Amino acid sequence: MDGILLVAHGSETGNESITGLAERVSGITGLPTAVGFKRYGEPKLRRAFEGLASRCGRVAVVPLFMTDGR
């Protein structure tokens, strides 16, 4: 089975929109979908990837960085 990992920077507030997006992506694709946060939020990227990879043979990693970094 394949899975999708959405990678976001995260924010001190407002990560619910990213979590909601993961639920919608999973509903549309029928694939297990997780979110990993680089800085703010849980789960952190490594833990999210390891959890998804333990259930899936392949994981597509999709960056969700909405603006240019500083």
Residue by residue, pLDDT tens for the chain (70 residues) are 799 999 999 888 888 989 999 999 999 999 999 999 999 999 999 999 999 999 999 999 999 876 665 5
What pLDDT, on the 0 to 100 scale, is given for residue 12?
85
What pLDDT, on the 0 to 100 scale, is given for residue 69?
59
DSSP state of 15: T
Nearest to 50 by CA among 2, 1, 5: 5
What pLDDT, on the 0 to 100 scale, is given for residue 65?
79
What pLDDT, on the 0 to 100 scale, is given for residue 11?
85
8 Å CB contact between 34 and 6: yes
